[in-house]
Each structure stands twice: as C-alpha cells, then as structure tokens.
Structure 1
C-alpha cells in the first residue's frame, strides 16, 4: 500500500515550506532579486500578505495557488520523485502523473495555510550545491524547539524552489524512495501509482 503521498511533507517538509514562506517576510536582511535569498524573501513577502489578510481560507488558498505555481518547480520535483520510472512511463502516463502530483503537492501546502501563526524565521546562510543554491534558515514556533531547514533554489530558466530540506532530510528524495518502493512491489507499473494518487485525492476530505 502506498504511503500517504508527501507524508514527509505533512510532517516536516510541509512545515519547512509553509513556515518558511509564510514568515520569511519578517527577515531583516536586505533582499536582492538576483540572489536566492532575495528570491525567497520576495516570495515570502507576497505569501505573508495573503496569509495575514482578513480574507476567507478559500480565498487565501486561491491566491496562494499561482504563487506556488510560479515559484515552485512542481514538474521538476515530480519527475525527480518518479525516478527511473519516469523513463518507462508512456507520455500519457507522464502527463497524468504530473497533473496528480501537482495537485497533491499544492494540497499539502494549502491545506495547512491556517496552521502557521506566531512563527519567526531567520536565514542563516546560503551555499552552492551541484543542484542549486541552498538557502538555510531556522524556524521558531511558540512552545517548540528551533528547527533547521533549507530551500533548494535552481537557477535554470529563472529561480524556482526544487526541494525542501527538514531535519536533514530531502523532501523529494524521501518521496522518490516511497514511490520507488511502491512501484517495485507493483511490478514497476506506473499505472498503479497513478491509481493510488487518484484514490488519495478522492479521499482528501
């Protein structure tokens, strides 16, 4: 049986993404549009304006959606998570899988929008990696220990978030391991994963 898709994100990486993006606007360091830290700060500033508005939760979700689509490379994350099975999937399966993955990831973030209040966020540095620039930070929430996190920013064709790291663990790597394990138990048939994602979305509420 497939684990809840993005189960890691609901536990930790979702907190990484949502908390970081909701509270990053409080950063005191200057933002520069050309660097990764400035990119995260700018994105967070837009997001925090939505989160802290007096609009209904449904309105907030509707406004957050285009921000995620514009600033998070969901397709690249989805392809990475499918791993070697991406090459064995038919073009139709690839398209269907990415559509479902997109909705699952968006739901994982937007479903938690109302849960992140009273947080503070501090960028602790940036570093270059073979896969992009990693923006490191600490998240403080009332009554909870400080959490280290990171957002991996790719520069191909414009900056976008391609991974979230929490508790030293990569969201996309954890999810790829989950998918690979599921597919290995089901003969490598991508159609079975697609069906599992469809069931997950149908049971969302």
Structure 2
C-alpha cells in the first residue's frame, strides 16, 4: 500500500499556514458575514495573542488543540468541500460512510501534522492585502503575508466561498503550493492502488504514527 508523504520543509511551511488559518477562523459569525479580507484581518491578531498566552497550546497539546479547532475553527471552514476536492473524482464513488471516515481521518491528519507549529507562534505576525470583491462574487482569494523576524515573508492565499451570506475557507496556498492539490496527488495514487478503503486505512495508519510521535 502506498503511504502518505510529507517533505520536512513543506511540513514546516504548511504548519505555519494552518496555524494562521486557525487564527483567521476564530471569529464571531458577524465578522464572517462581512468582507473576506476584513474577516481575516479583524480577528487574526487578537487570536494570535490568545495562542501566545496559552502555554499548553504552545507545547503542542493535541487534546486542547483538537478542542480549539472543533469549537472555533471548523464552523468557518467548509471541510467537506476541502476533503472532497482533496480526494478528487473518487469522492463521488465513496459511500456516505466512506466519506465520513475520509473527512474524519483527513481532519485528524492535518491536526496531528501541524500541531507542532503552535510552538513557533511567538515569532509570527501577518499582513492582509485588501480585496476588491464584487457584491455578487461567491468565490474569492484573500492574499496575506506571514512575517518572521530576519527571514523572508511567507505568502499565503485563502480560497474562500460565500455560503448563506457568510464566508468559509476551503483551500489555502502557501508559496505556490495549494493544500488541496498537494494531498490530491497522493490520494489519487493510493486510491488507484488500494481503493477508497485503502486510502482510509493509509490515513488511519499515518495518524497512528503521528499520534505516537506527538506524545
């Protein structure tokens, strides 16, 4: 069975990306209904301050991070669409139960893979570029820069969609690498070799390995 891969440099960069995603999503619902760039700009700094003040999160406490994501991040992410895009055309071939398991294991993969990034939160600040969105636009990309002392900034784009008059994130791009595309290529190879159940099992095994390493 093919296994999931993550190059170390990409893992570190994506870790920071997902950390900023967390910051961008911890917002009151009224902010999510406003302009997408304001949605991200208005709350990111205050949430980063909260993360900096929480030592248990900075040590990579999986349970507390999981609770944080579940309560305050997931409502602002279209995770079903994100998972479906990552799985690609094979998503429609999956049964409802397989889709549920794929979402469950993919979500846990992201959580476990990037939990270590919170340890570096103290060095991060960011800038959000203004967006000129038309009133009837339903999808948009918000561009930001993550600033690190003495190092080149990291370019991060948020792909967002408007749903029920509020914005949700369904993909991210860091330095030219879209998160969904990165996993889609790997997932397609695994499904081609082992089917949907093989992908679920591969995700589960990867998560078990990461969970042991996180202890």
Q: TM-score, normalised by structure 2?
A: 0.78
What aligned pairs does 1:88-99 form with structure 2 within 5 A after superposition? 88-99=93-104
Structure 1 counterpart of 2:143: 136
Give the direction of change, closer, same or farther, for the CA distance of 1:64–1:89 in structure 2 (3 Å limit). closer
State the TM-score, normalizing by the size of structure 1: 0.81
More helix by proportion, 1 or 2? 2
Match of 1:10 in 2: 11
The structure 1 segments of at least 4 consecutive aligned residues displaced by more than 3 Å after TM superposition are 4-9, 19-25, 108-111, 127-131
CA contact (8 A) 2:15 2:116 kept: no
- Show the counterpart of 1:69: 74
Q: 1:7 to 1:127 in 2, by over 3 A?
A: farther
Q: Residue 122 of structure 1 is aligned with which of 124, 127, 130?
A: 127
Q: 1:163 aligns with which of 171, 192, 196?
A: 171
Query: Which stretches in structure 2 are left out of the alignment for 5+ residues?
Result: none
Contact 1:3 1:178 in 2 (8 A): yes
* Helix, strand or coil at the partner of 2:172: strand
Tell me if the contact between 1:122 and 1:137 (Cα under 8 Å) persists in the aligned partners. yes
Q: Structure 2 CA distance, aligned partners of 1:16 and 1:45?
A: 15
Q: State the distance in 2 between where 1:89 and 1:24 align.
A: 29
| CA root-mean-square deviation | 3.1
Distance, in Å, in 1 between the alignment partners of 2:161 and 2:200 is 27
Do 1:47 and 1:67's aligned partners in 2 also have CA atoms closer than 8 Å? no
Gaps of 5+ in 1: 26-30
